[in-house]
Structure 1
Amino acid sequence: MLWIKKIHKWLSVFIGIQFLLWLLSGVYFNLMDHTKASGHTYRSHEHAVVNFDLQKFVEPKSVLTQQNPSVVLSTIELLGKPYYLLTHKKGLYRNFINHYSLVNAYSGETTEIDSAMANALASQSYSGPGEIIATTLLTSKVADFPKQYNPTWQINFNDEVNTSVYIEAGSGRVVGHSDDDKRLADIAFMLHFMDYASEGSFNNIQIILFAFFTLWLSLTGLIWTVDLGFRGQYQIKLFAKQRKVRLFDKHQKSMGDITLSSHSNLLDGLIEHDIALPSTCGGGGTCGRCKVMINPVTNTTSADHQHFSDKELQQGYRLACQHFSNDVKQMTLIDVTEAKKHALLLTSSTFVSPYIKELRFKVKGGAALSYKAGAFMRFFIPASKGCSVPMQLPEELKPHWHHIEKLDYEHLACTRSYSIATSADTTDELVFTIKIQSAPHHKVLPGVGSSYLCNLAPGQSVDAIGPFEEFFASENSNKTMVLVGAGSGMAPLKSLIEEQTALASKNGNPERNIYFFYGARKESDLLYADEFYHLANHNDHFHYFPTLSRADENWLGSTGYVQQMLELNLDSIDNLENIEFYLCGPSLLMTETIAMLTAKGVADSAITFDDFN
């Protein structure tokens, strides 16, 4: 199957390039000036009628007896004089190889078309301002007229389009005119008809091969599609199969047998049995956390190669999200979390900024979940219809959405992960701050998960698995905490702040110093600003540094990027050895902040980050 995929991939590249060339050349054909493209810019179409005295003509019979055997004898006019044109060998078409003799019809003398006569014939056919600058006899293929196989005179004129007139050396026939416009059109024709060997014909080996390649592309695509169906990539009952898989833990202790559907990858299939592997990317193959060991001969994916060494791949290490049950008979689970699947009931949905909503859920059945601050849930987004603009948009926020094109769309089922924005010690609700990802234009769907969740109405429910604890504060540590975030990266950082405050109050322990650097574009984008200002004013251990990158003139606080504000204040916070850094936000924020901290000598172990991208 691997070689079929490779053939399909490279054929699609080749055929795709040719389709693009067809498109571009086709556009050119529709826009071009056909007179110029035919080389007739300076082609003279005047033909003077000459009356000859037939009584003076030499008898054709005597001409035929004096010349080599001929198959055709015809009378033609060249430069106002009559000639007999004898064809000794006749090709299928006149541009094919023909053997001619030219005889003066008055004198019976054989005439050779020399350069002087060729120049005269070319000048007669030419109506432009140029003068002859070169005359060449071509005895091989003519580049401007690749179908012309007979010896031909090329006469070049010094006009602005570099006209060349071609005169057939045997018959005096004007083969044609060519100039820069025609040569450009010839290139377009070559690309359009795949005449890369310059045969002057669309009936060439390249097109025949292209037809076979296209057939191969169709066949390999069909084979691949059927294979994906049997592997469970399509929800078609015809292809669905239930497979028994034996599970082992990382110590090779048997965990029993489970039945997995070929419709689901191993990661999702295990969830149906309340077995949750670590996964921060929701099954996209980017985080590399859902490690399992299966049969080493199982095909590898690009995601497998990205996260495992060659030695590990040979041992059978694979990502569960990249493989299906028909790939395995037994599977070793490297790491299993305590996360479970839950039905969550939405109790509240409120805008906390023009583009971010606070969603509050309760677990159906009333059981509160226990988790460390910074945990996240993985939501199962069902296939549904959506809209790029929130359906229930408050009047005061509508101006912020005027530039967003309203787009109704449909999306397939998927999963998305979102961090919990509260501490388990402060509420029995699961709170999320989710940014509604808008679409930049109508050809791109908006954020499927964020749009679906933020358009839910209170009382509706959605399934989610978790909590997953990947990002959390160090336990039994009194070091200063520096939190850096932006946008909806607020969620896990807010939960860390609530957790640390609650722990100090609950256990009577000294509070840890917390410095919270938060970035937003405008003041309206600052989440929970009043809450953090209040906490900073009433708690000497909490310090709040809001920073705006697009502040208006009324903003009195810090401006710029939050990572820059951190760098300005870093030396005044504490000794670097006594600081733990917690980061959550866009990739650029994360990359620049980590690079800055590393340059200042901060150890990797002191930097914890949650890249929600």
Structure 2
Amino acid sequence: MSRIWHLRIRKTHRYLGLFIGIQFLLWTVGGLYFSWSNLDSIHGDHLKRPAGAMPMSLSLVSPSIPLQALRQRPGVDSLISIQLIDILGKPTYQLAYSMQHGSHSMTHTQLADAQTGALRQPLSKSEAMTIAQQRFSGPSAIEHVQYLTNTNGHHEYRKKPLPAYAITFRQPAHATIYVAAQLGTVQSVRTDPWRVFDFLWMLHTMDYEGRDDMNNSLLRVFSILGLLTITSGFALYFVSSPSFRSRRKAKQFASAIAVGKRVRNQ
């Protein structure tokens, strides 16, 4: 291989390494954090008490009673699911249904008292705070409460049911419990370790809009560039290897001798 090709490979490898070296470093740092973290702790499962069971002696009305009231709403076209949940010690039906909005349908949820069949309003702030305190296993007091009606792609409660109450406790790790107002249930727990994880995940996926898209164009481009960098590194190793150079020189020497012999024979 000529010296010109040797220099081209070296330059290509150097500039590719300089261009994507920072991203390689971020991938490595993120991978270390992911592999050394306990996912249960990251997800905040250790801070969430399990929901309590309800006694078999409960007297419940048929779900058809709240469904009858739900049918009176214009646009309701289909029932998706019925679940029995506990809200502050009261058995409650969680009715998921589809409602027509113009040319498309949207899923909504309605709560209903499972002992009377009466439809009930979404959770109030005080109810959400009490639920969060009941499900939170930490000893800390509530620091502040926020009512969310919308979130962007970088919010830690993205792509989850809204509206919701974000109830933050002072300790441990500024834990925030998110309670969906219309569903009446705890949706997620977020802590500082999760926030670090989420930030590194964004850098890992290179999705700087929604953080969770593993098929974005930027990641694909850098993956290809990373493959080219590694390939050029292997090529540079072989062309720079002393054994490779000595074999090449031996071949060149043998070729020169063979040419000389042919010239003398002529």
The AA in structure 1 aligned to 2:54 is V
User: 2: distance between equivalents of 1:14 and 1:43?
Assistant: 44
Alpha-carbon shift at residue 166 of structure 1 (Å): 0.7
- Number of the residue aligned with 2:61: 55
Counterparts in 2 of 1:263-412, with a 5 A limit? none
User: 2: distance between equivalents of 1:6 and 1:151?
Assistant: 55
Q: Does the aligned pair in 2 maintain the 1:128–1:159 contact within 8 Å?
A: yes
Distance 1:218 1:188, change over 3 A: closer
The AA in structure 2 aligned to 1:181 is P
- Number of the residue aligned with 1:405: none
Of 155, 169, 177, the residue aligned with 1:143 is: 155
TM-score (norm 2): 0.67
Alpha-carbon shift at residue 235 of structure 1 (Å): 4.3
Q: Does 1:69 align with 2:74?
A: no
Counterparts in 2 of 1:188-207, with a 5 A limit? 188-207=200-219
Q: Does the aligned pair in 1 maintain the 2:151–2:158 contact within 8 Å?
A: no
TM-score (norm 1): 0.33
Distance 1:159 1:61, change over 3 A: closer
- Number of the residue aligned with 2:18: 13
Q: Does 1:129 align with 2:139?
A: yes
User: 2: distance between equivalents of 1:113 and 1:205?
Assistant: 41
Q: Does the aligned pair in 2 maintain the 1:196–1:206 contact within 8 Å?
A: no
Aligned-pair RMSD on alpha carbons? 3.8
The AA in structure 1 aligned to 2:71 is T
- Number of the residue aligned with 1:600: none
The AA in structure 2 aligned to 1:170 is Q
Alpha-carbon shift at residue 210 of structure 1 (Å): 2.4
Of 77, 98, 102, the residue aligned with 1:88 is: 98
The AA in structure 1 aligned to 2:190 is S
Q: Does the aligned pair in 2 maintain the 1:154–1:165 contact within 8 Å?
A: yes
Q: Does the aligned pair in 2 maintain the 1:64–1:70 contact within 8 Å?
A: no
User: 1:313-340, CA deviations, whole angstroms, 9 ceiling, x for partnerless residues?
Assistant: xxxxxxxxxxxxxxxxxxxxxxxxxxxx
The AA in structure 2 aligned to 1:112 is P
Of 45, 48, 59, the residue aligned with 1:43 is: 48
- For structure 2, which runs of at least 5 residues remain unmatched after alignment? 100-105, 257-266
User: 1:543-594, CA deviations, whole angstroms, 9 ceiling, x for partnerless residues?
Assistant: xxxxxxxxxxxxxxxxxxxxxxxxxxxxxxxxxxxxxxxxxxxxxxxxxxxx
User: 1: distance between equivalents of 2:36 and 2:227?
Assistant: 32
Alpha-carbon shift at residue 192 of structure 1 (Å): 4.3
User: 2: distance between equivalents of 1:86 and 1:237?
Assistant: 74
Alpha-carbon shift at residue 44 of structure 1 (Å): 1.3
The AA in structure 2 aligned to 1:99 is H
User: 2: distance between equivalents of 1:115 and 1:23?
Assistant: 42
- Number of the residue aligned with 1:168: 180
User: 2: distance between equivalents of 1:21 and 1:199?
Assistant: 15
Greater helix percent: which structure?
2
Instruction: Report the 3-state secondary structure (helix = DSSP H, G, I; strand = E; otherwise coil) of the residue aligned with 1:70.
Output: strand
Q: Does the aligned pair in 2 maintain the 1:102–1:171 contact within 8 Å?
A: yes
Alpha-carbon shift at residue 60 of structure 1 (Å): 5.2
Q: Does the aligned pair in 2 maintain the 1:153–1:169 contact within 8 Å?
A: yes
Alpha-carbon shift at residue 119 of structure 1 (Å): 1.7
Alpha-carbon shift at residue 39 of structure 1 (Å): 1.9
Q: Does 1:119 align with 2:125?
A: no
Q: Does the aligned pair in 1 maintain the 2:179–2:187 contact within 8 Å?
A: yes
User: 1: distance between equivalents of 2:234 and 2:38?
Assistant: 43
Counterparts in 2 of 1:576-591, with a 5 A limit? none
Instruction: Report the 3-state secondary structure (helix = DSSP H, G, I; strand = E; otherwise coil) of the residue aligned with 1:83.
Output: strand
- Number of the residue aligned with 1:319: none
The AA in structure 1 aligned to 2:77 is P
Counterparts in 2 of 1:243-254, with a 5 A limit? none
Distance 1:178 1:88, change over 3 A: same
- Number of the residue aligned with 2:103: none
Alpha-carbon shift at residue 154 of structure 1 (Å): 0.8
Alpha-carbon shift at residue 147 of structure 1 (Å): 4.0
Identity across aligned pairs (percent)? 27
User: 2: distance between equivalents of 1:5 and 1:100?
Assistant: 62
Distance 1:205 1:74, change over 3 A: farther
Q: Does 1:153 align with 2:160?
A: no
- For structure 1, which runs of at least 5 residues remain unmatched after alignment? 90-96, 243-258, 260-613
Instruction: Report the 3-state secondary structure (helix = DSSP H, G, I; strand = E; otherwise coil) of the residue aligned with 1:69.
Output: strand
The AA in structure 1 aligned to 2:191 is D
The AA in structure 2 aligned to 1:55 is V
User: 1:385-439, CA deviations, whole angstroms, 9 ceiling, x for partnerless residues?
Assistant: xxxxxxxxxxxxxxxxxxxxxxxxxxxxxxxxxxxxxxxxxxxxxxxxxxxxxxx
Instruction: Report the 3-state secondary structure (helix = DSSP H, G, I; strand = E; otherwise coil) of the residue aligned with 2:182.
Output: coil
The AA in structure 2 aligned to 1:163 is A
User: 1: distance between equivalents of 2:230 and 2:205?
Assistant: 21
**Larger RCO (alpha carbons 8 Å, 6+ apart):** 2
User: 1:233-262, CA deviations, whole angstroms, 9 ceiling, x for partnerless residues?
Assistant: 9345499769xxxxxxxxxxxxxxxx9xxx
- Number of the residue aligned with 1:23: 28
The AA in structure 1 aligned to 2:174 is N
Q: Does the aligned pair in 1 maintain the 2:83–2:95 contact within 8 Å?
A: yes
User: 2: distance between equivalents of 1:154 and 1:183?
Assistant: 15
Answer with 1 or 2: which has the greater Rg. Answer: 1
